[in-house]
Structure 1
Amino acid sequence: MPLRRMLRYALPFALCAATAADAGTLVIESWRVDDKTLWEKVLIPAFERNHPGIEVKFAPTAPTEYDAALAARLAAGNAGDLIACRPFDASLSLYQKGHLEKLDGKPGMQNFAPTAMLAWQTDNGKDTFCMPVASVIHGFLYNKKIFKQLDLQPPKTVADFFTVLDVLKKAGVTPLALGTAEQWEASQMVYTNIGPNFWRGEEGRKALISGKARLTDAPYVEALQFEARMGGYLGRNASSQTYGDSQAQFAAGRAAIYPTGSWDIAHFSQTPGLELGAFAPPVRRNGDPCFISDHMDLGIGVNRKSKNKDDAYKFLAWVGSQEFANIYTDRLTGFFTLSNHLIAVRDPVAKQMAEWRNSCASTIRFNAQVLNRGQPSMESELWSINAQVLNGSLAPKEAAARLQNGFAKWYKPQQK
């Protein structure tokens, strides 16, 4: 699920107390409101069948409200027993404030590779505070019927990509289902989707953290230039088009390609008559290695002040099991387990995206770790600046300079 804008203020106390746990009942905090039915009708009953006497309640908060509401409940001591963890810095902050238990060595944790735990560890890797659950993969969905009608093949290179867009535009088909009204799409569904093939995934991300690279360097600027070119293939009134508008536009066949992530597969698989396909972010040239944003999305931690810790650890051990991995991956299409268990991905489009891992190197959203820790917020800057680039109101080099200047204001390795 995409990261929505966090509230900048605490919610009223009444809301903060809304999910206080009753004694003997495990309460799960989460922002995944879309998963409520899966948890209540499938996952929790599966756990309770083999754990009589343990009652579990799934108590989600709207994504835009989750971070502030959860922080308030944790501070007040009335948060749930199990905490859905955002990746990297948001959950690291909760651990550093003493809200999450250390999970190293707990049952179930042995089923995850060290790389799967990176999003929920301290910077030195010594403490793990959330169990990994699932990741999402970025890419492009496309309408197979439209491609077939115009004799188009999924593009593999940047040149192929814009050739396809040109053919679609000349045929009177809106090439891209994409708007900028909510801004986050420009960052998470475009820049951090296509960018890794320019800055070489982890190599470029870690170079920014170490201070060896600047956001004004060629790879990062070239990604913005690619994005600026994409802006010429959006529909009318794209600047006022929301995420929901883009989904509706693509589902109705009014646009041929949808830049997104695997989380959207389930939504479109329910659209009658839509033949869905997927292709990976295009590489710069034939023969170049490919990189995909395989972003760690969700973990689960234990509230240090939980009154039901023994039961919470039993539930956590089950989350680390083969049974949970099978159910979650099968029922929540487009979310891929991070455990070592062998899982058969049944949905054909989700399976195709998962198989990109076999040929492309995985990376994460490049600002998810470390780069969001100062002001101005890298996340907010990326939203605003990338939306402007797509809209054509900000040139790529100027956009890169603004990102770099904001970054260098607070991050010492970038001040050399």
Structure 2
Amino acid sequence: MMKKLISTTALTGVVVGLGMSAAVADASLTIESWRNDDADIWNEKIIPAFNKVHPDIKVTFAPTPPADYNAGLNAKLAGGTAGDLITCRPFDASLDLYNKGHLTDLGSLDGMDNFSDVAKSAWQTDDGKATFCLPMASVIHGFIYNKEIFEEVGIDVPKTIPEFMDAVKKIKDETRYVPIAMGTADQWEAATMGYQNVGPNFWKGEEGRKAVIDGKEKLSDDAYVKTFEHLAQWKDYMGNGYKAQKYPDTQNLFTLGRAAIYPAGSWDITTFNSQADFKFGAFPPPVPANGDECYISDHTDIALGINAASPNKEAAEKFLSWMATSEFAEIYSNSLPGFFSLSNHKVEVQDPVAQEFVSWRDSCKSTIRNSYQILSRGTPNLENELWNVSAQVLNGTMSPEDAAAKTQDGLAKWYKPQM
């Protein structure tokens, strides 16, 4: 009787085990995302590549229009109808989801050690103890330039700020081209492709960014004044009417071959590939002087997490672990030039300009935009303040010293370490 009971129990265990394996193998996963523009890449490249390794896990990419994503996702999560995998925006929006119990802690996920602390920082708790989304990609800041104009004028790619200013002066003095393609009407360009682009070379990237968060440095310190002083130098080289120029106008100015240098985000590569009929390249933010260490804004942009209410968590973990591999990194980076895998894998990027951007990781230290983590939670919002003051500096209506003081004063109104 005992033998029969043991055999039955053992057989039951085998059946249960097989049942659990079958449940994982037959699982269906749904991905929530705001990136409705890259659905074809997921359906035609990413998911088929995953299914070669896990053929019995069905994956459906179900994007929402970007403007509707946050509200729609929150409604689905509240109603229990959200997908198994949640595409994560950086920092506070996703941190809020985690704090509300909607995302799982992925700290022990296989493959998470393929990402640096900087890569994970956008999807961690403030103390860094929990990581709730797997980093996917970043965008890198720098400058895109018209190679044909540089050759015509006889100038080399600038490596220092004095060389940069000499180049734009030469273009202005000797040609009818606009030296620097940028407008201030939308304001965000002034901060994102201006301040956050060149600033890390002054405040030493992560060292300065974290020092402000810790209250050890202030946004009115010399490094930040010098950043605005450099931006102020641009205003004489941005062309007629730049104060009324919007982002699409700036893109058109460059793609039509009428401007030499475009302060850029790497996301612009795809647009220029399709619209520009001339050769263009890229160079990193010039350093203040020869011999200075260089820093780049390698900004964390997108990640993927697991819905804590998903009934298919084991299958979801398998998908995320596969996304931590070099195979996914290469597919994603080459399918979306200008969006770069955040993993430590060495990826051969096929687009030449995208490869130029990502190559800077080998020679410069990476950081992220200094207003994105923690410092834009209060009122006034630091990110919005930077939009406004950066545009004013470029317009010549605010001095660099006043711009730096205004951001510091605003932060000190609500952020305790800066009070």
- Whether TM-score is above 0.5 comes out as yes
Q: Indicate conservation of the 8 Å contact 2:28/2:58, yes or no.
A: yes
Q: Secondary structure at the match of 1:172?
A: coil
Q: 1:268·1:274 contact (CA, 8 Å) conserved in 2?
A: no
Q: Which residue of 2 aligns with 1:63?
A: 66
The whole-number CA distance in structure 2 between the counterparts of 1:402 and 1:55 is 52
CA 1:172–1:152: 2 relative to 1, 3 Å = same
Give per-residue Cα distances to partners, 1:22-54, cap 9 Å, x unaligned.
Answer: x96422222223322211221122223443343
Corresponding residue for residue 10 of structure 1: none
Where does 1:17-416 land on structure 2 (aligned, <5 Å)? 25-170=28-173, 171-271=175-275, 273-415=277-419
Q: Structure 1: how far apart are the matches of 2:304 and 2:406?
A: 36
State the shift of 1:83 in Å.
Answer: 1.2
Letter in 1 for 2:43: E
Provide, for residues 256-293 of structure 1, a one-character-per-residue CA deviation record: whole Å limited to 9, x for no partner.
11111222222212335321111111111112111111
TM normalised by structure 2 equals 0.88
Q: Which SS does the other structure have where 2:208 is aligned?
A: helix
Distance 1:397 1:272, change over 3 A: closer
Please state whether the residue corresponding to 2:288 is helix, strand or coil.
coil
Structure 2 unpaired stretches of 5+:
1-25
Q: What residue identity is the alignment partner of 1:211?
A: G
Distance 1:64 1:225 in 2: 35
| Segment of structure 1 superposing worse, 145-154 or 221-230 | 221-230
Label 1:80 to 1:394 Cα distance change in 2 as closer, same or farther (>3 A). Answer: farther
Structure 1, residues 60-109: CA drift from partner, whole Å, max 9, x if none? 33334433333333233322221111222322222111110111222332
Between structure 1 and structure 2, the one with the greater Rg is 2
Closer, same or farther in 2 for the Cα pair 1:379/1:79, shift >3 Å?
Answer: farther
CA distance in 2, matches of 1:95, 1:354: 30
Which one is further off, 139-148 or 175-184? 175-184
Amino acid in structure 1 at the alignment position of 2:321:
A
Contact 2:371–2:382 at 8 Å: present in 1 too? Answer: yes
Task: String of CA shifts for 1:185-224, please: whole Å, max 9, x gaps.
Answer: 1111110000011111112111211112111111101111
Q: Does the CA contact (< 8 Å) of 2:202 and 2:224 recur in 1?
A: yes
- 1:364-392 CA-to-partner distances (Å, cap 9, x unmatched) read 11112111121111111112221222222
Comparing 44-53 with 171-180, which one deviates more in the overlay? 44-53
Percent identity between matched residues is: 54
Q: 1:212 to 1:365 in 2, by over 3 A?
A: same
Q: Distance in 1 between matches of 2:340 and 2:216?
A: 32
Q: 1:33 to 1:244 in 2, by over 3 A?
A: farther
In structure 1, C-alpha distance between the alignment counterparts of 2:416 and 2:45, rounded to whole Å = 48
Greater mean deviation of Cα atoms: 72-81 or 160-169: 72-81
Question: What is the CA–CA distance in structure 1 between the aligned matches of 2:166 and 2:399, rounded to whole Å?
Answer: 22
> Number of aligned pairs?
393
Distance (whole Å) between structure 2 residues aligned to residue 174 and residue 395 of structure 1: 24
User: 2:118·2:367 contact (CA, 8 Å) conserved in 1?
Assistant: no
Q: 1:237 to 1:73 in 2, by over 3 A?
A: farther
CA contact under 8 A between 1:197 and 1:290: conserved in structure 2? yes
Deviates more, 1:385-394 or 1:71-80: 71-80
Please, what is the CA RMSD of the aligned residues?
1.9
Q: Secondary structure at the match of 2:380?
A: coil
Check the 8 A contact 1:189/1:260 in 2, yes or no: yes
Relative to structure 1, is the Cα distance of residues 72 and 380 closer, same or farther in structure 2, using a 3 angstrom cutoff? farther
3-state SS, counterpart of residue 404 of structure 1 = helix
Relative to 1, partners in 2 of residues 1:227 and 1:65: Cα closer, same or farther, differing over 3 Å? Answer: farther
* 1:269–1:276 CA contact under 8 A, matched in 2: no
Question: Post-superposition shift, 1:252?
Answer: 1.0
Q: How big is each residue's C-alpha offset from its partner over 1:214-258, in whole Å with a ceiling of 9 and x where there is no partner?
A: 111111011111112212222332233222221121111011111
Paired letter, 1:75: A
Displacement of 1:411 in angstroms is 0.5
Structure 1 gaps of 5+ residues are 1-22
Q: Decide whether aligned partners of structure 1 residues 181 and 75 sit closer, same or farther in structure 2, where only a CA change above 3 A counts.
A: farther
Distance in 2 (alpha carbons) for counterparts of 1:355 and 1:70: 36
